[in-house]
Structure 1
Amino acid sequence: MSAGSTLLNSLDLPGAPERCRVVVAMSGGVDSSVVAALLKEQGYDVIGVTMQLYDHGATEHRPGSCCAGQDIFDARQAAALLGIPHYVLDYETRFRDKVIDAFAQSYAEGETPIPCVTCNQELKFTDLFDVARDLGADCLATGHYIASRAEGAERALYRAMDPDRDQSYFLFATTRAQLQMLRFPLGEMTKPEVREHARRFGLPNADKADSQDICFVPTGRYSDIVERLAPQAAQPGEIVHIDGRVLGRHSGVMHFTIGQRRGLGLGAAGASAGEPLYVVKIDAAKARVTVGPRSALATRRVVLRDVNWIGPGEMADAGREIAVRVRSTRPPVPAILEMRDGEIVVEFVDDESGVAPGQACVFYDSAEPRARVLGGGFIRSTEAATPAVPSPRAAAG
């Protein structure tokens, strides 16, 4: 074997690009199309694959959708322009079973789900992996804004260079085995740079709007889907103040999320509280929504489920200082990760506000912009910073 044959190319694969086959997950958006174009330009053997995930009739011409209708057409156009093979795979049944049904059930249980994580976890990084292997691919590339680098014999995830585009929150469930085959060419780029590349390549979707998170909700009214798939989420119930007062009634827990302020439907009862009210707890079993002042949203710690660790070594049982994100739109904050009575618990150094069960708690090795992703889990339950104590009047009643 010659010395040159051991050199790694731009994808950290051995050998020249033309000897490496790359499957690109093409959603029809500008990001994945640019990934395919850049890799084709570098000489890789590129194949585009698009997953048709849901009935595209209602979303065919809606900006901000993905993996349906116009988006599949856009992916085909981009692949044709680049001169690469392109396949469309029908995963509607799997997507409905694994993502949409789970989304509805999560709302019915009083949670606030994040279907993008489930989609990556259950379809894109599992079923699509099988397709890539069947096609003889050396790796699978996507248009996510996140970086991956070799760390010895393994690969590690890092936040994207552009903090405004960073998608690490949605990829915490990626496993070590999956990281070995995944590549994210846009992790070191900004969105304007990506669009400029798209124009340079003459891609038809260069100025296409970004996709939205809940791609399968054509009207933007997710409650319609939840009520159809999980009718128990539409059971009427009480809206109560943290001091025990009943302020009103609601038409289903699916209409609420932790931290919500608008659309509570309390009218005069809400105004009489003397300060803005927020949803602080959802008890789906009792169809009860609890509201209170903003201070009642303060959370000290969370208990996690389905935790995935991709940091160095093993996750320690003793307290580990890390940084975490509990919403995709928030920056990482300092926290302590530890095991308590067989449960994985995260305690915030400073109280966090509006933390919702069902959302993700993603781990980083620091709060810096390009920190390493250590993994994460779904929030199973929360513990308030200062437990609410009913007023004597409410207790007496």
Structure 2
Amino acid sequence: MSDSILNNESNKRALIAMSGGVDSSVAASIIHDRGYECMGCTMRLYENDVIGEDLFGTCCSLKDTQDARAVCEKIGIPYNIYHYEAEFREKVIEPFICSYENGETPNPCIRCNRYLKFDSLYNKAKELGFEYIVTGHYARIEERDGKYYLLKAKDPNKDQSYVLYDLTQEQLAHTFFPLGEYTKNEVREIAEEKQFVTSHKSESQDICFVPDGDYAAMIRRYRDKEYEKGDFVDTEGNVLGTHEGIINYTIGQRRGLGIPADRRLYVKQLDVKNNRVILADNKDLFEKELIIRDFHWITGDVPVEPMRCSAKIRYRHKEQPATLEVLSDGKAKITFDEPQRAITAGQSAVLYDGDIVLGGGIITNE
């Protein structure tokens, strides 16, 4: 966030989303030190019965809310907990499960940002008279000629712009990402200087409601059902073995297949209609083209002609040069210069021009 935006005097009130971790703690401190009237809050998103596991170590645990409250007391700002369990269940958990059931691999953090942090919490901020919301994401926002741009973080190892690609102009105008100019080590140093209880806290889970990392077990508990077994087949349709249910597999997966083979085989396709998992050699996983749905362009100036850009097809993917062509019905086509491995439906393809995040959408098999 540029200093010109941070020093806006029109309404210096900011609502801080606090997970109980070091990042949001330092974000709150930075904004408070800038002279903003701040209030910290934790979004309560789910209870134990939703995921069937102890919440210890997740952003909704008692320990994390205690830590967030302690940091707010240290800074000298008020703190509240707001309950969004129903919204989270409807807009994040249910689509997450449906996505796996439909042979996709979702990114729930993107939906949480879109529907919870920058919708429900943003509306709460407006209701309470706060002009801005603040999060501990590593990304930057800049205003240029009346438009707001989302940029990568200065620290490439912590950049989280990928999960923020569908922010709107209004949301960007009322959001601060104070950590975008810092490295993780610098953030921890600030937390130590401030003597925050979160200064040496470990990183949070990638998927907060799957604390043990076993998403398939979480889905079975949530649905209270077992998923029908089916056939592993090769690209010619030959049966190779029996799979344990479509939800257990993702494109590009090799481990955990549990079938004998004379070579390494990988998941190439999930055939939900016929309940088959199609396996292939690694070389067969590479493709140059993909289609995205729910296409979003941050500035609103959607390109009418094909344009050059770079694109990432998953969070840890290194962006690659490509050409974007906007289609009808909220879709777009991305053609890479070189084939990319394991393009996966349900993941987001995010578009960049250097440090600028242009937009993106959800990869589809349609």
Place the TM-score, normalised by the shorter chain, in its bin.
over 0.9
Q: What are the equivalent positions in structure 2 for 1:107-186 lying under 5 Å apart?
A: 107-186=100-179
The runs of 5 or more residues in structure 1 that have no matched partner are 1-7, 383-397
TM-score w.r.t. the length of structure 2 is: 0.94
- Rate the CA distance shift 1:165–1:9 in 2: closer, same or farther, 3 A: closer
- Aligned position for 2:364: 380
Contact conserved, 2:5 with 2:143, CA < 8 A, in 1?
A: no
Q: Does 1:348 align with 2:336?
A: yes
Aligned residue for 2:173, secondary structure, equals helix
Distance in 1, Cα, partners of 2:292 & 2:55: 38
Distance in 1, Cα, partners of 2:312 & 2:327: 20
Q: Which has the larger radius of gyration?
A: 1
- Aligned-residue RMSD, C-alpha: 1.9
Q: Displacement of 1:56 after TM fit?
A: 4.8
Which of 34, 40, 44 is the aligned partner of 2:32? 40
Contact conserved, 1:101 with 1:229, CA < 8 A, in 2?
A: no
Aligned residue for 1:143, secondary structure, equals coil
- Aligned position for 2:195: 202
Q: Displacement of 1:33 after TM fit?
A: 0.5
For residue 166 of structure 1, what is the amino acid of its counterpart?
D
Contact conserved, 1:52 with 1:68, CA < 8 A, in 2?
A: no
Q: What are the equivalent positions in structure 2 for 1:46-85 lying under 5 Å apart?
A: 46-56=38-48, 58-62=53-57, 65-85=58-78
Instruction: State the identity %.
Output: 39
Deviations 1:166-222 (A, max 9, x none): 001111111112111111001010000000000011100101011121100133211
Deviations 1:349-384 (A, max 9, x none): 100001100000001013xxxx100010000128xx
- Rate the CA distance shift 1:91–1:292 in 2: closer, same or farther, 3 A: same
For residue 298 of structure 2, what is the amino acid of its counterpart?
I
Contact conserved, 2:55 with 2:211, CA < 8 A, in 1?
A: no
Aligned residue for 1:379, secondary structure, equals strand
- Aligned position for 2:285: 297
Which segment drifts farther, 19-28 or 290-299? 19-28
For residue 20 of structure 1, what is the amino acid of its counterpart?
K
TM-score w.r.t. the length of structure 1 is: 0.87
- Aligned position for 2:9: 15
For residue 354 of structure 1, what is the amino acid of its counterpart?
A
Contact conserved, 1:158 with 1:168, CA < 8 A, in 2?
A: yes
Distance in 2, Cα, partners of 1:66 & 1:184: 19
Deviations 1:23-47 (A, max 9, x none): 1111111001101112222221111
Distance in 2, Cα, partners of 1:231 & 1:338: 42
Q: Does 1:357 align with 2:332?
A: no
Deviations 1:215-238 (A, max 9, x none): 001332111222244578812111
For residue 138 of structure 2, what is the amino acid of its counterpart?
Y
The runs of 5 or more residues in structure 2 that have no matched partner are none
Distance in 1, Cα, partners of 2:136 & 2:324: 31
- Rate the CA distance shift 1:231–1:335 in 2: closer, same or farther, 3 A: farther
Contact conserved, 1:107 with 1:233, CA < 8 A, in 2?
A: no
Distance in 1, Cα, partners of 2:36 & 2:241: 62
- Aligned position for 1:31: 23
Aligned residue for 1:247, secondary structure, equals strand
Which of 82, 86, 101 is the aligned partner of 1:89? 82
Distance in 2, Cα, partners of 1:59 & 1:231: 18
Distance in 2, Cα, partners of 1:35 & 1:56: 28
Distance in 2, Cα, partners of 1:232 & 1:346: 37
Contact conserved, 1:238 with 1:249, CA < 8 A, in 2?
A: yes
- Aligned position for 2:220: 227
Distance in 2, Cα, partners of 1:258 & 1:316: 31
- Aligned position for 2:318: 331
Which of 152, 168, 183 is the aligned partner of 1:190? 183
**Aligned length, in residue pairs:** 361
Q: Displacement of 1:285 after TM fit?
A: 1.9
- Aligned position for 1:321: 308
Q: Displacement of 1:54 after TM fit?
A: 1.1
Q: Displacement of 1:154 after TM fit?
A: 2.2
Distance in 1, Cα, partners of 2:62 & 2:4: 33
Q: Displacement of 1:13 after TM fit?
A: 4.4
Distance in 1, Cα, partners of 2:197 & 2:39: 18
Q: Displacement of 1:262 after TM fit?
A: 0.4
Distance in 2, Cα, partners of 1:210 & 1:321: 35
Contact conserved, 1:104 with 1:225, CA < 8 A, in 2?
A: no
Deviations 1:243-296 (A, max 9, x none): 322100111011100010100111x2x2x3xx2111000011211100111011
- Aligned position for 1:262: 255
Q: Displacement of 1:69 after TM fit?
A: 2.3
- Rate the CA distance shift 1:233–1:339 in 2: closer, same or farther, 3 A: farther
Distance in 1, Cα, partners of 2:106 & 2:170: 25
Distance in 2, Cα, partners of 1:119 & 1:231: 24
Distance in 1, Cα, partners of 2:218 & 2:332: 32
Distance in 1, Cα, partners of 2:7 & 2:132: 9
